[in-house]
Homo-oligomer: A and B are copies of this chain.
Amino acid sequence: MPGRTWAGTTLDDRKALRRGQLVAAGLDLLGTEGSAGTSVRAVCRHAKLTERYFYESFADREELVAAVYEHIGEEARQALVAAVRDAPTPVSRAENAVRAFVELIVDDPRKGRVLLLAPLTDPALTRRGLHLLPVFAALVGDQLSHGDETERRMVAVGLVGALSNVFIAYLDGSLKVSRERLVAHCVKLVLGADSH
């Protein structure tokens, strides 16, 4: 019975809190040091917790990495859904979606790196086939009007790759361009993809 309270909070509360700290630390490391720097010990050091609490919330290092990725993925998904909802025209939909995504990853590049780079670099994610981008690509593909099944899929894959690459280049500073211009260009990419 963990209903018993401790230091004002219940056990489950503190457990969830620690889990949150671990995920936050994981995001921090995965988004800066990269996959190699995101070890169980490093995460614990960063979260100021000991390994015991790591295995209290996660069975594996893998589980932590997956949790971090899915956390950010869900955030991105919600941002996109909210941005697209109530946008009347396809153009405004594209514009809002791109703008929301840019806001997300520019305000916090760690999230951008986790979302775009981590699934390519971390075995824990590649092994599970945990790419959200293909999922997004499939969503995009469904919106396309021209072509048959495979055609739409190829277009979607290409579009997602183009956007990722532009974002990544923007993130690491190798593409020096104003934020507005970035958004405008990405919108053009999205809209251009459907005009075969």
Contacts and interface: CB of A to CB of B under 8 A. Distances in A.
Contact of A158 (B121, B134, B150, B163): B163
Given A34-B123, A36-B123, A120-B121, A175 B154 contact: yes
A49 interface: no
A7 interface: no
A177 interface: yes
A185 B154 contact: yes
A154 B166 contact: yes
A189 interface: yes
A181 B147 CA distance: 13
A107 to B, nearest CB: 21
A121 B117 CA distance: 8
A91 to B, nearest CB: 17
Interface residues of A, number: 34
B181 A157 contact: no
B165 A160 contact: yes
Interface string A127-163: 0000000100000000000000010011001111111
A169 interface: yes
A8 interface: no
A88 interface: no
Interface of A: 34, 36, 117, 120-121, 123, 126, 134, 150, 153-154, 157-166, 168-169, 174-177, 181-182, 185, 188-189, 192, 196
